[in-house]
């Protein structure tokens, strides 16, 4: 299964190419509306710039995507930006690159490279956030079963978030949705046998 990524928080990076300044912003957005709102926000913030080009990709698998050259020659800005997002397997992401023209024309190939580089350099600032859907469970059991359950949880690709040792042992765990069914079946069997109490969070 392919994983998709986004940013945990907003990112900004600036590069200079032949006297033109390119300022790239990346922002987490789950919908087209959120993406367009951020594009409008950055465009208003940098309203004196020559161009505010953008690209976004949203949806669980990045199925909804769009890009704009915002006045640059066709295909020289928005698409290279979008290509950078796709190459890094990103979704729920919007990129805006602001350009202040420095007086030296870059040409078609130069523009394509510049806008792509602006987004790529911002992506590479720090590791991306893996986008996964998690299921959460709360388990209450006796001390005699706790160690076995912790081992089982690790073997089934789940993660123990918290353990409380009181009269019983309470375990809070998370697991990727795609892995949960096998774990659920096993825990439900133990619950039917009266060995634990299980609830989804």
- The per-residue pLDDT for 2 is 79
pLDDT at 52 over 70: yes
pLDDT at 128 over 80: yes
* Same structural domain, 125 and 146: no
Q: Look up residue 37 and give its two tokens.
A: 């709102």
For the segment 182-199, the average pLDDT, to the nearest whole number, is 92
Which CATH number fits the domain that encloses residue 182?
A: 3.30.70.240
* Same structural domain, 69 and 9: yes
pTM of the shown model: 0.79
- The per-residue pLDDT for 152 is 87
Minimal CA–CA distance to 34: which of 74, 85, 91, 89?
91
Which CATH number fits the domain that encloses residue 19?
A: 3.30.230.30
* Same structural domain, 114 and 150: no
Residue finishing a domain among 97, 112, 130:
130
Which range has highest mean pLDDT (1-5, 34-38, 181-185, 197-201)? 34-38
Across the chain, what does the average pLDDT equal? 95
* Same structural domain, 146 and 76: no
* Same structural domain, 21 and 39: yes
Q: Look up residue 121 and give its two tokens.
A: 């350099």
* Same structural domain, 119 and 184: no
* Same structural domain, 111 and 146: no
Residue finishing a domain among 96, 130, 164:
130
Per the listing, tokens 């080009």 go with: 53
* Same structural domain, 155 and 193: yes
* Same structural domain, 163 and 84: no
Instruction: Categorize the per-residue pLDDT at 1 as very low, low, confident or very high, splitting at 50, 70 and 90.
Output: low
Instruction: Categorize the per-residue pLDDT at 29 as very low, low, confident or very high, splitting at 50, 70 and 90.
Output: very high
* Same structural domain, 115 and 36: yes
Domain with 186 in it: 133-200
Instruction: Categorize the per-residue pLDDT at 157 as very low, low, confident or very high, splitting at 50, 70 and 90.
Output: confident
- Domain count of the fold of the chain: 2
- Whole-angstrom Cα distance, residue 68 to residue 102? 21
The SS3 of residue 190 is helix
Instruction: Categorize the per-residue pLDDT at 124 as very low, low, confident or very high, splitting at 50, 70 and 90.
Output: very high
Instruction: Categorize the per-residue pLDDT at 156 as very low, low, confident or very high, splitting at 50, 70 and 90.
Output: confident
Residue finishing a domain among 77, 101, 130:
130
pLDDT at 130 over 70: yes
CB atoms within 10 A of CB 65: 17
* Same structural domain, 54 and 152: no
Question: 13, 125 in Cβ contact below 8 A?
Answer: yes
For the segment 42-64, the average pLDDT, to the nearest whole number, is 96
């Amino acid at each position: 299964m392919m994983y998709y990524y986004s940013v945990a928080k907003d990112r900004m990076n600036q590069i200079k190419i032949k006297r033109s300044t390119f300022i790239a912003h990346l922002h987490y957005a789950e919908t087209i509306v959120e993406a367009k709102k951020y594009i409008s926000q950055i465009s208003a913030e940098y309203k004196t710039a020559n161009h505010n080009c953008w690209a976004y990709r949203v949806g669980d698998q990045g199925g909804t995507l769009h890009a704009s050259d915002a006045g640059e020659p066709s295909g020289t800005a928005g698409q290279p930006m979008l290509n950078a997002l796709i190459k890094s397997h990103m979704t729920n992401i919007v990129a805006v690159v602001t350009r202040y023209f420095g007086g030296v024309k870059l040409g078609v190939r130069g523009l394509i490279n510049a806008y792509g580089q602006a987004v790529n350099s911002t992506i590479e600032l720090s590791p991306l956030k893996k986008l996964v859907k998690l299921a959460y469970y709360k388990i209450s059991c006796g001390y005699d079963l706790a160690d076995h359950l912790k081992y089982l949880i690790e073997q089934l690709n789940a993660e123990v978030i918290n353990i409380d040792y009181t009269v019983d042992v309470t375990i809070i765990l998370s697991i990727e949705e795609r892995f949960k069914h096998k774990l659920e079946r096993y825990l439900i069997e133990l619950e039917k046998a009266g060995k634990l109490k299980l609830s989804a969070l």
